[in-house]
């Protein structure tokens, strides 16, 4: 099985009218082979919330930049920051 990482990504919408659920839906379509582990909203200011999500990704060079670029291209996304990348260990599978 190829190795995976989990990335914590912080996504800032470009306005307070952006529906974060639509962004999540588009991310699921962009990365159909990956898994969104969890997500949360973080208040920023003036009714704007950032979206923080943990998503799996293949462990390969340049994957962070690829994810960042694809997410930035989603309508309604202002800024994207990769906050953390760590190796994913699936405890359901034997070593």
User: CB within 8 A of 53, min separation 6: which ones?
Assistant: 8, 9, 11, 24, 27, 36, 37, 38, 39, 40
Q: Tell me the range of 14-23, 65-74, 82-91 where mean pLDDT is highest.
A: 65-74
Q: What range does the domain containing 67 cover?
A: 4-53+63-76
Residue 37 belongs to domain with CATH number: 3.30.70.60
Predicted confidence (pLDDT) per residue in 15-37, tens digit: 888 899 999 999 999 999 999 99
Report the number of distinct structural domains present in the chain. Answer: 1
Task: Tell me whether residue 82 is in a domain.
Answer: no
For residues 80 and 11, the answer to whether their CB atoms sit within 8 Å is yes
Task: Tell me whether residue 94 is in a domain.
Answer: no
């Amino acid at each position: 099985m190829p190795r995976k990482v989990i990335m914590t990504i912080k996504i800032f919408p470009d306005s307070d009218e952006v529906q974060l659920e639509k962004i999540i839906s588009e991310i699921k379509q962009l990365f159909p082979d990956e898994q969104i582990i969890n997500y949360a909203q973080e208040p920023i200011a003036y009714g704007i919330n950032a979206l923080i999500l943990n998503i799996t990704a293949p462990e390969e060079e340049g994957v962070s930049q690829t994810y960042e670029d694809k997410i930035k291209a989603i309508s309604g996304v202002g800024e994207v920051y990769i906050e953390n990348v760590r190796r994913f260990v699936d405890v359901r599978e034997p070593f």
